[in-house]
Amino acid sequence: CSQKVHMESNGEIKARGALIVLEGLDRSGKTSQSARLLSYLNNLGYRVESWRFPDRDTAVGKMISSYLTNQSQLDDHTIHLLFSANRWEKRSLMEAKLKSGISLIVDRYSYSGVAFSSAKGLDIEWCKA
């Protein structure tokens, strides 16, 4: 795990956490590999947490969960934007943890949204924006 450092206003040097993202097909082992990596890095003494997107515990995450369980129907553009909003909901907390030196292992992130939405026919450049 390479660590970048930044200088705090009090002159103290702190290591920034790493953002480690695992992307892949459904049931390809992302969650299993995340758990293994979390255990390995914890055993090495790193401060690390495992996260997963979509985060179905947030307000937007609940809308996504409803869509994924076929309880609601949404336009492809709308669901893509909801997935983006779900990551945005967690942005401040993610940034704070990374700045405090905690590394995050993330099971799915923005590239999943690009892959799924562009596979449905949405413009890939729009999906990446």
Greatest alpha-carbon pair distance for the chain in Å reads 53
How many C-beta atoms lie closer than 10 Å to residue 8's C-beta? Answer: 9
pTM attached to this predicted model: 0.83
Q: Are 33 and 22 in contact (CB under 8 A)?
A: yes
Question: What pLDDT shows up at residue 15?
Answer: 87
Cis upstream peptide for 54 (omega within 30°): yes
Structural domain count of the chain? 1
**Structural domain range at position 101:** 5-128
Instruction: Say what the pLDDT of residue 7 is.
Output: 41
CATH number at residue 32: 3.40.50.300
Distance (Å, rounded) from C-alpha 21 to C-alpha 96? 17
Q: Are 106 and 21 in contact (CB under 8 A)?
A: yes
Helices 76-89 and 91-99, axial angle in degrees (round to 10)? 40
Tell me the C-alpha distance between 104 and 70, whole Å: 30
Q: How far apart are CA 105 and CA 49, in angstroms?
A: 6
Q: What is the pLDDT of residue 11?
A: 58
Residues of the chain with pLDDT below 70 are 1-13
